[in-house]
Amino acid sequence: MLKIYGADLSSPSNKVRFTANALRAEYEYIKVSLMKGENRAEWFLKLHPAGKIPVIVDDDFILFESNAIIKYLAGKGKSTLYPEEIKKRALIDQWMDFIALHVNSAVSSVVYNRVFAPWIKTAVDENAVKTGVGFLGKFLPVVENQLAKNVHVTGECFTLADIALLAALDPVEVAEIDIKIYSNMTKWRDKLKQKDFYTRCHKDYADALNKMRTLA
């Protein structure tokens, strides 16, 4: 059976779970505690030499990096989430790269400094917050304009690009990032958060965070 190694508050991990759920794939979800340093344990470093999550093990095949993983899962399932037609696939790749470089990286920086740094009592980098918010102010309008023209990120069909964007934006409320000014993106996101592939992972990111804080 497919095994997914991840953490509940890891957007890249949730991206993989969203995809597996959308594909109706059977899998075992194995939580890796970053707080306890399980990602630096010898057994985990055999799966990912840099000690990062997520990682999948599919029989004897090991794969890390979330975008590579979800492309593999969708390709293996011959899913319309990542169609074989080269131009459609290229558009999905284009938007997944854009989301990774210009949305997820900025959101992650703000989330770390506004949520996790205070939690683990480490220094907050206000410059990183300012830069991240600035990046989002510059690049989220690009996504908003795309969703003004299309039902989904790359057109009429729901694809891996939508899953990548949904996962990237998942923590925005807990990090006090206001995206309600982007009406098309907000409607798109609210609709997808009601889907089974999302709710099978969690109610929402804030709920997952509150549960983790309760256990800490």
Q: Which positions are catalytic?
A: 10
Structure tokens at 129: 């917050």
Three-state DSSP at 136 gives: helix
| 132: Cα separation from own chain's centroid | 17
Closest C-alpha among 6, 14, 9 to residue 201: 14
DSSP state of 137: H
Q: How far apart are CA 24 and CA 136, in angstroms?
A: 32
Task: Kindly report the length of the chain.
Answer: 216
Lookup: tokens for 114: 């506004």
Q: Which two tokens mark 46?
A: 């055999």
Give the burial class of 181: count Cβ atoms within 10 A of its Cβ; 0-12 exposed, 13-18 middle, 19 or more buried: exposed
Alpha-carbon span 169 to 190, nearest angstrom: 11
For residues 112, 116, 120, 121, the Cα torsion angle rounded to the nearest 10 degrees is 70
Is the peptide bond between 141 and the residue preceding it cis, with omega within 30 degrees of 0? no
